[in-house]
Amino acid sequence: MKLIELQPVIHRMDVPPLLESVNFLSSVSSYYPNEAKQFSHCLIAALTDRGYSLEPTIRLSFCKALIALRARQVITTFDTIQLFFELAKCEDKSLRKFLLGAIVSFIKVLHRKERKNEGKVQCLIFAKLKDSRPVVARMANLVLIEAFRKGFWKEAKTANSIAECVFHDVLRIQLTSIRFFLGSLKQEEGFDGSDSEDEEANKEENSKTVREVMHAFKHAKKTRKKAKTLEKTKRAISKESKSKKESQSKFCNLEAMQMLYDPQTFADRLFGCLQSKKNEKFIVRLLRMALCARIIGIHKLQTLGFYSYLHRYLQPKQQEVTRILLYATHACHDLVPPDLVQDVVRVIAQNFVTDRNTNEGITVGLNAIREIFVNCPSAATEDLLQDLAEYKVYKNKNVSMAARGLITLFRTVNPKLLHRKDRGRPIEGTNEVATRGKDYGSLSAVDFVPGAEILQEEEDFTNDRSIEDNSDEEWSDVSDLEDEIEQSDEDTTNEDEFETDIDENDSDEDMEVNDEESEHSDEEIDEEIRPDDNGKLAKDSKQITKSAKKKLRSEEKKLELETKLQKAKMISESRILTDTDFRKIRSYQIKKQLGIEKSSRKRPNDEVRLEEELEEKIARREEGDGLAKLNDIMHFHKKIRRQTKEERMAEVQKGREDREEYGKPKKKGPHVGRTNRELAKRKDFRMVRQKVRGKNRQRSFRDQQMSLRKYLLRQAGKKV
């Protein structure tokens, strides 16, 4: 160490003995505490005074020795971290990477074992964020990000300290902090970093099989096939661990956004940076736009100038316009004034949803408008919605499906805004939609959990018979005419259990079918009323039966809805609902809103597909951050094109390129691979003469004639 003080540059032959001695002394420091303290002071002095002039290998070995001394409690964690931040000024990329990992590991040890010193180290790193040297501030920022991601310091203080770095003077620190809040691009596009329970179970099963294969290869006979299987499993393990690390490091920090002390002030400051006239790169502006929109959508803020700021970027030829449309949908929520959202929708409709635009542009525009209306349904107007719904008959499949998706959404949200022919059949959830507040700022408070009646279906199955008896006693006062109609219409009322009011055309068709089914009950009525002269009274009797049936059916459905409401209120007041109960209620409510609980008619595949997509979106938004993904806007319905035979054969041949041939490989040699026919041609004629003679005797006259003809043609020099 004294030689280093006198001569920082050491000959390369003297470096290995020095490194070995430093490593040895740091390893045995616990047995010599007094000498270990002196040794640590020498290392710290060498790194502090001459750290920049030392060779990279010596500098790195000294840092490793300090980590070993800290593990043996020779020096404190605070002093080590402070020294490492000073060494970050050295222009050594490998050293900076090592120091970053070492500081994060120190924080891990503090979080688990030394909670008393954790606050002191935390204050040190927070102070380093304001350091005038950009390298030190960036390292402190990266340390806080890693500590938050790994769960050591997942606190509001850490999240707000990283949020302050969004407004740092150094652009690189700004971008790192913004990307920390936003997460990866894959998650923005629609690939979630969190796996479901089924996927986790599958991963556990795969890991078990991998361990079994490794164990089997170790103790079994070594073959080429087993060696290939082992290599494949090793690649799978490394790929899985790598993807897991990437997903953890690039996962969107929704918790960090929710921990902000004052999100409104943060969004206003960020929007002020957007409005500034600095000549910055477009990617920087796009990231700020994304963060501002996401915070506005999560916290439902009132940064009203952001919506008019987006108008200039909502052009089909704008760079990254699909992401800007996504950010517009993120910023729209139900507390934004509807006129601002209507302006955004109008700009999108004028620039994208026009006949002069491409089919892809129209599709993206319609999808963006649909996602905006999902977040802010009160901004929809009847004229605009009906104009957009006309694209359902557009010649392009993508455009028509996007328009139908908009229609499907408003069938569940507010069917009155649609044209009458687009509203569809009323469903059980229509009454709930009608009672729900649709105006801006209106409340939708309830005194029970809607859909709770589904929870005791299995328990009440045995009591269905008694309920039916009670319902029969209640309806005993109805006239004899209605009793006969009710007996004839048992099948139709069971099929139309969840329908309320039907369109005129559909009702006429249904009534005609019901008339055919109730011939036996109507014959007696017709015989009593129908005269012999003309059929006027017969027609009147049919009208009476139709109206009576319709009235009776509506009364039955009202009674059924009332019983369901009473049951839901009773369940909500009498028991504590668990997570599984709420999951059942949520799925039941989604199905009820979409009208797919009990459908008595056969629906087209496109309608079923749109309802399934809407159901998935509603379920996904209730579980996550509630914001749209890029796949929702860039969603195209392509026609399934079957591959031709040439394309299928090309794929088959492509899959066979690297595959070994099946079967036992043939040996190399001059007589390998010849058939018996080829071998017979090489035999002497005397060996096969008797065989040929026998064959000639067994031939028919026609075969002999044809062979003679061919022989004569060959003799004449003609082709056979």
Instruction: Kindly report, residue by residue over 413-423, the tens digit of the pLDDT.
Output: 888 899 888 88
* Under 8 Å between Cβ of 51 and 90: yes
Distance CA 275, CA 257 (A): 22
* Under 8 Å between Cβ of 136 and 88: yes
Distance CA 119, CA 125 (A): 10
Q: Which long-range contacts (CB under 8 A, 24 or more apart) does 655-661 make?
A: none
> For the chain, how many helices (H) and strands (E)?
36, 0
Instruction: Look at residue 527 in the predicted model and tell me its pLDDT.
Output: 43
Distance CA 512, CA 151 (A): 67
Residues in the chain: 720
In sequence order, what are the residues at sequence separation of 6 or more whose Cβ sits closer than 8 angstroms to the Cβ of residue 715?
none
Instruction: Look at residue 605 in the predicted model and tell me its pLDDT.
Output: 66
* Under 8 Å between Cβ of 183 and 251: yes
pTM: 0.66
Distance CA 414, CA 373 (A): 11
For 25, the 3-state DSSP assignment is helix
Distance CA 372, CA 62 (A): 58
* Under 8 Å between Cβ of 295 and 253: no
**Hey, what amino acid is at 146?**
E
Instruction: Look at residue 466 in the predicted model and tell me its pLDDT.
Output: 44
Place of tokens 């579980």: 623
Instruction: Look at residue 82 in the predicted model and tell me its pLDDT.
Output: 92
Give, in degrees to the nearest 5, the angle at Cα 139 between 133 and 145.
135
Q: Which parts of the chain register pLDDT below 50?
A: 192-206, 434-435, 437, 457-537, 597-598
**Hey, what amino acid is at 437?**
G
Distance CA 418, CA 411 (A): 8
Helix axes 134-149, 156-164, angle to 10 degrees: 140
Distance CA 237, CA 464 (A): 55
* Under 8 Å between Cβ of 341 and 307: yes
pLDDT tens per residue, range 286-315: 999 999 999 999 999 999 999 999 999 999
| Structure tokens belonging to residue 696 | 């000639």
Distance CA 519, CA 525 (A): 10
Instruction: Look at residue 618 in the predicted model and tell me its pLDDT.
Output: 64
* Under 8 Å between Cβ of 99 and 88: yes
* Under 8 Å between Cβ of 140 and 128: yes
Q: What is the dihedral of CA 388, 394, 397, 402, to 10 degrees?
A: 0
CA-closest candidate to residue 210, choices 241, 236, 228: 236
Distance CA 317, CA 330 (A): 21
Q: Which long-range contacts (CB under 8 A, 24 or more apart) does 260-264 make?
A: 260/159, 260/160, 260/163, 260/295, 260/299, 261/156, 261/160, 263/295, 263/298, 263/299, 263/301, 264/299, 264/301, 264/302, 264/303
| Structure tokens belonging to residue 473 | 């006693």
* Under 8 Å between Cβ of 352 and 316: yes
| Structure tokens belonging to residue 524 | 């007696």
Instruction: Look at residue 191 in the predicted model and tell me its pLDDT.
Output: 53
Place of tokens 């005609």: 512
Instruction: Look at residue 117 in the predicted model and tell me its pLDDT.
Output: 84
Distance CA 165, CA 160 (A): 9
CATH number for 2-215: choose from 1.25.10, 1.10.3470, 2.60.40, 1.10.10. Answer: 1.25.10
